Amino acid sequence: MKTVAEYRIQYSQILNEKNELNEPLPGWATAEWLQEAYQHMMLTRIFDQKAVALQRTGQMGTYPSCLGQEAVGVAIGMALADDDVFVPYYRDQGAYFLRNHKLEELLLYWGGDERGSSFGPKQDFPVCVPIATQVTHAAGAAAALKLKGESGCVMVTVGDGGTSKGDFMESLNVAGAWQLPLIVIVNNNQWAISVHRSIQCGAPTLAQKAIAAGIHGVQVDGNDVVATHEAILNAKEHADEHKGATLIEAISYRLADHTTADDASRYREADEVKRAWEIEPVKRLRQFLISLGWWTEAKEKDWTEQCQKQVEQAVARYLAFEEDTPESMFDHLYSEWPSVLDEQLDILHEKVERMTKRHTD
């Protein structure tokens, strides 16, 4: 008997849970870069808190918080180039804003208005709520880049629960078979709604799912914005050198409920959440910056006030959006208008007329 193959999954952490360095900072991680990353993470957190409040007061629909996962989104957004393609899932607020989406546009989306999906870089995909279907779309986009001989890569995100879907494994398989310029980032926040990571998959890591597909797989501390960004840069270089796809498993923790329609206290122990708060990414980076004299309480106060003002202004613009017409549901469905929609449009007009008459009588 002989061994035909052996594999190992490497784990990366640069800024550890004690706010100390395990190894020297990469050359790109300057004081300016770290401060910018922290500012984006803070803005994301303050926006997130406001979005939850809007839902609780009936001013927005169901919303998925990214509390505790800000480092993953910001690391992605700061790594993406203009010609890259971003295929997000529903917990990528930090990356979304760094792709030049305005705060009010994301509020518009979660407010139930599809116009919130029509902004940002033209090559990027809209927020995806169905689980793992976006990974298939991303593999297709990566195949298109390769066939056209275009530069850049496709970056797609998915939660740990999505790695159990067939869409996820099929996409990895084609990425390996075709050596696609694809980066798949798994935000392993430990809970797929109420299903814990430990009972969702028997493998010790989710990163090792890359092995069966013949692509590179690594695990990183997703609460460490430096290590996460470094892993993404390495994956981009891997793709640029035509070495194929990479799967990055970013270990984080969902500090909030799954969405505002969930109550995580029904299935999570309070002590577990308390321990997660002790190593969360925003606090970790803030303490590290302060220890080096690169951040102060005065800067913290000033930036917090700026973020709150920016968010409040965005909320005002969101609430000022005029409601779209019912007929808009038919827009952008077909490149050429099919006659079958004429009848449906007539039915809609009749229904709107009846409802308007009912409310005025």
Positive or negative, the CA dihedral 124, 130, 135, 141 is negative
CB 235 within 8 A of CB 246: yes
- Element at 218 (helix H, strand E): strand 216-221
Say whether 214 sits in a helix, a strand or coil. coil
Residue 358 annotated to the active site: no
Sorted by sequence, the CB contacts under 8 Å of residue 59 that are 6+ apart come out as: 111, 319
Q: Is 267 a catalytic residue?
A: yes
Kindly state the DSSP code that residue 87 receives in the 8-state scheme: E
CA distance 246 to 257: 29
Cα 144 to the chain's mean position, in Å? 22
How do strand 11-12 and strand 216-221 relate by DSSP bridges? parallel
User: Helices 281-291 and 31-56, interaxial angle, to 10°?
Assistant: 150
Q: Which of 161, 139, 174 is nearest to 64 (CA)?
A: 161
| From 40, 254, 284, 318, active-site residue | 254
User: Rounded to whole angstroms, what are the CA distances from 196 to 179, 193, 199, 293?
Assistant: 32, 8, 6, 39
Nearest Cα residue to 84 out of 92, 93, 76: 76
Active-site choice (216, 229, 258, 284) = 258
Q: How many CA atoms lie within 13 A of 96 on its CB side?
A: 29
Residue 89 is classified by DSSP as B
Told to judge if 258 belongs to the known catalytic residues of this protein, a careful annotator would answer yes
- Give 65's strand partners: none
Q: How far apart are CA 219 and CA 302, in angstroms?
A: 35
Residue of 267, 275, 349, 354 marked active site:
267
CA separation for the pair 193, 281 (Å, rounded):
21
Catalytic residues: 254, 258, 267
